[in-house]
């Protein structure tokens, strides 16, 4: 199954690859100079889920598989990227394919590490990226409009509604308005195939100094205020620390975090991305051999969910036997849960809920 993907974006040298490594336990090159990433790094992150851990303890399977989210770490973006500056065009086309944007904003001070704009100013950095995404979208919309106008004039289409929607988008982009705010949901849905960057779900990762985790600097407070005014979620992380934590055993990690009086944040970030992607989790227990968490879009029917496990299961779907994970954990076994009448039988149109444990019945 192709997993959904988070794109790590931001100016050069802000800690994108460091964050990528922390997220995916990857080995992307990290350098103290701008543009150390040229070709994108791709990796997967397991989605932390305490329910999966508890299920594993209960069932004791041979294998446990967590839900995963893919991350891509692309080259840094600079002013003029939409005209091809830096690695601009390659960058922009790469992120057009991702499902959620994770924007790393540099807040750590470290003078040895150059900032392309000269000083540490998170809000200005956010605005640079915002403008580049917007200009790139404007170019795309401009091209689409020219094409559609021709088709309408030559009578090949009468899609006036689309024409007026694209015009509305163009005007708003030209005036620098946030499409997230000005467009209605139906309009956003209508535009979903265009892959507009300024409509992708977005959140900020403030890459902060360790000290900021316990006492936020004025710079960080300004960034928080800005994000909340814009209605964009943000999360504060010390990417370097998180990357180092990944190298430790879990006991060492607990000790270390206790000493610093901080908590690990990377897991929270992965969960946030998952939520932004509008994903929920169902579980399967394959004959007690494999316990697995499956990510699916909220609102999926049980027969389509079966298709995520295997296409034959969707084709030959008969019914699903469903129990809520918390019930199963409380009762202790499927057998007993069945005896107690806690396992439901659901037909193909049942909408999967987060935390369902499902046994699919199908004919092959
Ligand atoms: N002090 C400090 N340094 C960091 C932190 N995160 C990253 N760095 C350092 O910042 C430099 C750039 O980090 P990278 O992860 O390579 O940054 P990038 O955004 O991927 O850079 P490009 O690929 O060049 O765009 C490296 O020297 C990192 O060690 C952090 O949280 N604190
Ligand atoms: Mg990099």
**Quick one: 20 and 92 in the same domain?**
yes
- Calculated CA dihedral for residues 272, 274, 280, 285, nearest 10 degrees: -110
Residues of the chain with pLDDT under 50: 1
Would you tell me how many other CB atoms lie within 10 Å of the CB of residue 363?
A: 9
pLDDT in tens, 27-56: 888 877 777 777 889 999 999 999 999 999
**For ligand 1, atom 1, which residue shows the shortest CA distance?**
110
Domain harbouring 351, CATH code: 3.10.20.30
Helix axes 88-96, 122-153, angle to 10 degrees: 70
User: For ligand 1, is residue 36 a contact (CB within 6 Å)?
Assistant: yes
Task: Evaluate whether residue 68 is within a structural domain.
Answer: yes
- Ligand 2 centroid from CA 38, angstroms: 8
Number of domains, the chain: 2
Domain coverage including residue 339: 299-362
Task: Evaluate whether residue 291 is within a structural domain.
Answer: no
Residue 263 is predicted with a pLDDT of: 78
Residue 62: which H helix or E strand, with range? none
**Quick one: 222 and 339 in the same domain?**
no
**Quick one: 211 and 153 in the same domain?**
yes
Distance of alpha carbon 124 from alpha carbon 223, whole angstroms: 10
Residue 76 is predicted with a pLDDT of: 81
In angstroms, the first-to-last Cα distance of the chain is 20
User: For ligand 1, is residue 14 a contact (CB within 6 Å)?
Assistant: yes
Would you tell me how many other CB atoms lie within 10 Å of the CB of residue 251?
A: 8
Q: Where are the beta strands (DSSP E) in 30-180?
A: 41-46, 63-65, 68-73, 100-106
Q: Which two tokens stand for residue 336?
A: 């007993």
Distance of alpha carbon 325 from alpha carbon 16, whole angstroms: 36
User: How many Cα atoms within 13 Å fall on the side-chain side of residue 121?
Assistant: 9
**Quick one: 271 and 303 in the same domain?**
no
Do residues 202 and 103 make contact, with C-beta atoms less than 8 angstroms apart? yes
Task: Evaluate whether residue 255 is within a structural domain.
Answer: yes
User: For ligand 1, is residue 281 a contact (CB within 6 Å)?
Assistant: no
**Quick one: 246 and 161 in the same domain?**
yes
**Quick one: 93 and 171 in the same domain?**
yes
Q: What are the strands of the beta sheet with 356-362, ordered from one edge?
A: 63-65, 290-297, 279-286, 356-362, 317-324, 344-346
3-state SS, residue 143: helix
Question: How does 214-224 read in b/e, with b if 16+ C-beta sit within 10 Å?
Answer: eebbebbeebb
Residue 294: which H helix or E strand, with range? strand 290-297
**Quick one: 14 and 129 in the same domain?**
yes
Ligand 1 atom index nearest CA of 11 = 25
**Quick one: 53 and 156 in the same domain?**
yes
Do residues 307 and 341 make contact, with C-beta atoms less than 8 angstroms apart? no
Residue appearing with tokens 């915002």 = 130
User: For ligand 1, is residue 26 a contact (CB within 6 Å)?
Assistant: no
**For ligand 1, atom 13, which residue shows the shortest CA distance?**
15
**Quick one: 67 and 32 in the same domain?**
yes
Residue 1 is predicted with a pLDDT of: 45
Residue appearing with tokens 């199963």 = 328
Domain harbouring 60, CATH code: 3.40.50.300
Task: Evaluate whether residue 294 is within a structural domain.
Answer: no
């Amino acid at each position: 199954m192709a997993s959904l993907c988070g794109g790590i974006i931001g100016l050069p040298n802000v800690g994108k690859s460091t964050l990528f490594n922390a997220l995916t336990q990857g080995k992307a090159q990290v350098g103290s100079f701008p543009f150390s990433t040229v070709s994108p790094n791709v990796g997967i992150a397991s989605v932390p889920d305490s329910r999966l851990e508890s299920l594993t303890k209960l069932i004791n399977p041979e294998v446990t598989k967590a839900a995963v989210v893919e991350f891509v770490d692309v080259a840094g973006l600079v002013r003029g990227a939409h005209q091809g500056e830096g690695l601009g065009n390659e960058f922009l086309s790469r992120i057009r394919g991702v499902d959620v944007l994770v924007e790393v904003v540099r807040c750590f001070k470290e003078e040895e590490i150059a900032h392309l704009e000269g000083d540490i100013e998170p809000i200005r950095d956010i605005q640079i990226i915002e403008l580049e995404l917007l200009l790139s979208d404007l170019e795309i919309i401009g091209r689409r409009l020219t094409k559609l106008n021709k088709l309408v004039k030559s009578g090949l289409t009468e899609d006036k509604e689309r024409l007026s929607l694209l015009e509305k988008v163009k005007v708003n982009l030209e005036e620098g308005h946030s499409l997230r705010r000005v467009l209605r949901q139906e309009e956003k849905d209508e535009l979903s195939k265009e892959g507009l960057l300024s409509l992708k779900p977005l959140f900020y990762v403030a890459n902060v100094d360790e000290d900021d985790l316990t006492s936020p600097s004025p710079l960080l407070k300004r960034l928080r205020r800005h994000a909340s005014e814009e209605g964009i979620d943000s999360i504060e992380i010390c990417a370097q620390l998180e990357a180092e934590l990944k190298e430790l055993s879990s006991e060492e990690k607990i000790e270390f975090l206790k000493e610093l009086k901080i908590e690990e944040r990377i897991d929270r970030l992965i969960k946030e991305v998952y939520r932004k992607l509008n994903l929920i989790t169902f579980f399967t227990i394959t004959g007690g051999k494999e316990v697995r968490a499956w990510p699916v879009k909220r609102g999926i029917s049980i027969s389509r969910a079966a298709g995520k496990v295997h296409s034959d299961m969707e084709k030959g779907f008969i019914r699903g036997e469903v129990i809520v994970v918390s019930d199963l954990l409380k009762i202790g076994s499927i057998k007993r849960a069945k005896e107690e009448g806690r396992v439901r039988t659901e037909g193909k149109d049942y909408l999967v809920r987060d935390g369902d444990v499902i046994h699919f019945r199908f004919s092959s």
